């Protein structure tokens, strides 16, 4: 049983009310019922507090207690969103993964699988694969020759990992993702597209999460690298020889062309596109749909296609909204001009 004082201790929060009440789960502020804990991450949700039926509420230190007194039991924290992550983890119900190799899995005699690892039904593990302790390989996964998967990593169903890939500790790769397929490289030889051999590899560093249906291509000669702590959403394309730094966030439908260099702490919002051989500095933030066509200095906030500083893009949107009125004004001015001045 988890009590409210257990939760307050886990999030390093200040407890107001009865710490001995049992908490059975976590829910949104409008749907929570007695026995559950909810959270207030934004002032706009304060209006729901009077009708809230939760047994306890997590709030930030900037929230006025007078606004939330309808809930008697409160945990005050520095950051409610981070506290939510911690509490949600306490109640997360994931599948129980049992160590061992399913009888239907195909495992090479040269593969080395730690005793605490799990290999699911119909998985295929090729030569010289190494799978670390507490790693989980779900059913129907294909792992090619010379792949290393670090301890604690989770490979969900139907993931395909081609040869010579290195995956670090505590990596999560979601269903149907393909790691280390050939990069898209061809040269016109006068009669056809000649394929450039893709001889490199892929390195996925520790604590990376990769969403479903994402593709990360192997390098032509060296390495495609996804840095430690980076999070990649569903439906992302990372081309050959790309390097993404640590703790970056790549949102759904982003496309990164070959040999691009992405720094640490970069955020690429949905459907952003990065041209080949572009370098993006640390801490850059690119809005949704941004077309990044040239190098971007560290710390920049950009938007638009081709990309431009965010403030400049905002001004342009204002001008765009005014264009119909401006066109109409020009037409009215032309009507007042002598005919010879309007002829072109």
| 141 and 159 Cβ atoms separated by less than 8 Å | yes
CATH entry 3.40.1390.10 includes domain 2-91: yes
Structure tokens at 189: 């030889």
CA dist 103 to 39, 132, 253, Å?
A: 45, 19, 37
Burial of 335 by CB count in 10 Å (0-12 exposed, 13-18 middle, 19+ buried)? exposed
Amino acid 340: pLDDT? 60
Spatial separation of the C-alpha atoms in residues 46 and 63, rounded to whole Å: 9
pLDDT tens digits, residue range 289-337?
A: 999 999 999 999 999 999 999 888 888 888 888 888 888 888 888 888 8
The per-residue pLDDT for 341 is 57
| 97, burial (CB in 10 Å: exposed 0-12, middle 13-18, buried 19+) | middle
In the prediction, which pLDDT does 343 show?
57
Helix/strand/coil (H/E/C) assignment for every residue in the chain: CEEHHHHHHHCCCEEECCCCCEECEECCCCCCCCCEEEECCCHHHHHHHHHCCCCEEEEECCCCHHHCCCCCCEEEECCHHHHHHHHHHHHCCCCCCCCEECCCCEECCCCEECCCCEECCCCEECCCCEECCCCEECCCCEECCCCEECCCCEECCCCEECCCEEECCCCEECCCCEEEECCCCEEECCCCEEECCCCCEEEECCCCEECCCCEEECCCCCEEEECCCCEECCCCEECCCCEECCCCEECCCCEECCCCEECCCCEECCCCEECCCCEECCCCEECCCCEECCCECCCCEEECCCCEEHHHHHHHHHHHHHHHHHHHHHHHHHHHCCHHHHCC
Q: How do beta strands 186-188 and 193-195 pair?
A: antiparallel
Annotation says 240 is catalytic: yes
Q: What is the pLDDT at residue 339?
A: 66
Q: What is the pLDDT of residue 322?
A: 86
> What's the confidence (pLDDT) of residue 311?
86
pLDDT digits (tens, 9 = 90+) for 106-158: 999 999 999 999 999 999 999 999 999 999 999 999 999 999 999 999 999 99
Ranges in the chain, pLDDT < 70? 339-344
Say if residues 152 and 131 touch (Cβ distance below 8 Å).
no
At residue 92, the pLDDT reads 84
Looking at residue 234, its pLDDT comes to 98
**For 159-306, CATH number?**
2.160.10.10
Domains of the chain: which residue ranges? Answer: 2-91, 159-306, 309-342
pTM of the model: 0.87
Tell me, what's the pLDDT at 174? 98
The single residue of 158, 174, 193, 240 carrying the catalytic annotation is: 240
* 168 exposure class (CB count in 10 Å sphere: 0-12, 13-18, 19+): buried
Strands 74-77 and 14-16: antiparallel
DSSP bridge pairs for 109: none
């Amino acid at each position: 049983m988890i009590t409210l004082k257990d939760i307050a201790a886990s999030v390093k929060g200040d407890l107001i009310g009865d710490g001995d009440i049992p908490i059975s789960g976590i829910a949104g502020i409008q749907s929570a019922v007695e026995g559950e804990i909810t959270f207030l991450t934004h002032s706009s949700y304060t209006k729901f507090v009077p009708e809230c039926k939760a047994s306890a509420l997590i709030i930030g230190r900037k929230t006025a207690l007078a606004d939330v007194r309808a809930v008697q039991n409160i945990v005050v924290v520095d950051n409610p969103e981070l506290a939510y992550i911690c509490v949600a983890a306490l109640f997360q119900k994931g599948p129980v993964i049992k160590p061992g190799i399913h009888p239907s899995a195909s495992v090479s005699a040269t593969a080395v699988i730690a005793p605490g690892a799990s290999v699911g039904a119909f998985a295929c593990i090729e030569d010289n694969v190494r799978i670390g302790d507490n790693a989980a390989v779900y059913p129907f996964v294909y792992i090619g020759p010379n792949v290393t998967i670090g301890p604690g990593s989770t490979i969900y169903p139907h993931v395909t990992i081609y040869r010579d890939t290195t995956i670090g500790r505590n990596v999560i790769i979601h269903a149907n993702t393909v790691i280390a397929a050939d990069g898209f490289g061809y040269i016109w030889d006068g009669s056809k597209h000649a394929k450039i051999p893709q001889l490199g590899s892929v390195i996925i560093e520790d604590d990376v999460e990769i969403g479903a249906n994402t593709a990360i291509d192997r390098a032509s000669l060296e390495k495609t690298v996804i840095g430690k702590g980076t999070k990649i959403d569903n439906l992302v394309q990372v081309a050959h020889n790309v390097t993404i730094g640590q703790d970056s966030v790549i949102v759904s439908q982003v496309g990164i062309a070959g040999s691009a260099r992405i720094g640490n702490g970069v955020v690429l919002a949905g459907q952003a596109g990065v041209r080949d051989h572009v370098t993006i500095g640390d801490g850059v933030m690119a809005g949704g749909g941004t077309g990044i066509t040239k190098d971007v200095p560290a710390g920049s906030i950009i938007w638009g296609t081709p990309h431009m500083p965010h403030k400049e893009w905002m001004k342009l949107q204002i001008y765009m909204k005014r264009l119909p009125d401006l066109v109409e004004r020009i037409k009215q001015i032309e009507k007042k001009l002598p005919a010879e001045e309007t002829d072109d």
